[in-house]
């Protein structure tokens, strides 16, 4: 039997040893660690020294940890994809985009492209004009309209132009 100090050190050491097993665990979260690792890996990690109850608890912890991390990763990935796809035809998210234009705004004009500070690029697809305007990096709002249309408005002006996302 191990001393209390060794027992406390064992969990961090086991966690470090199991880090390499997480990709396999993600593929099969219910498989016990002794089936996820080769016999050599199992021995090298010192897991053969565990009592059956300790090994069962480790397997339970590992399964819960992998499932929780998989959920968090899926949620983060989904949120990132929704944000990256916002404004494209395949996007399902109807939330408006609030950002700043990168560079100078010289008014609206059909075919003009607008790069935002979030990396998105939008192109005007209607004939709306806003002449005589010259602003450095103004705040803009791009909001969804009906039938999949998107409209861009520059802070301080009521004119809005129909745009489509190109990047």
pLDDT in tens, 88-106: 654 445 688 999 999 999 9
CA-only gyration radius of the chain, Å: 27
Structure token pair of residue 82: 């929704």
pLDDT at 25 over 60: no
Kind of pairing, strands 104-105 and 135-136? antiparallel
pLDDT digits (tens, 9 = 90+) for 55-96: 989 988 988 888 888 888 888 877 777 667 666 654 445 688
Q: What is the reported pLDDT for 70? A: 84
Tens digits of per-residue pLDDT, 141-154? 999 888 888 999 99
């Amino acid at each position: 039997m191990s001393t209390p100090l060794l027992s406390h050190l064992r969990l961090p050491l086991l966690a470090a040893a199991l880090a390499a097993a997480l990709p396999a665990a993600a593929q099969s979260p219910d498989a016990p660690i002794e089936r996820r690792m080769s016999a050599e890996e199992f021995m090298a990690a010192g897991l053969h020294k565990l009592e059956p109850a300790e090994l069962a608890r480790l397997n339970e912890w590992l399964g819960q940890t992998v499932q929780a991390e998989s959920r968090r990763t899926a949620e983060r990935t989904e949120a990132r994809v929704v944000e990256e796809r916002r404004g494209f035809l395949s996007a399902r998210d109807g939330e408006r985009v609030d950002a700043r234009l990168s560079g100078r705004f010289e008014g609206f004009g059909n075919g003009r492209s607008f790069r935002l500070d979030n990396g998105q690029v939008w192109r005007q697809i209607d004939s709306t004009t806003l002449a005589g305007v010259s602003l450095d990096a103004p705040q803009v709002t791009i909001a969804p309209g009906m039938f999949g249309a998107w409209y861009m408005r520059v802070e301080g002006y009521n004119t809005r132009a129909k745009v489509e996302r190109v990047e």
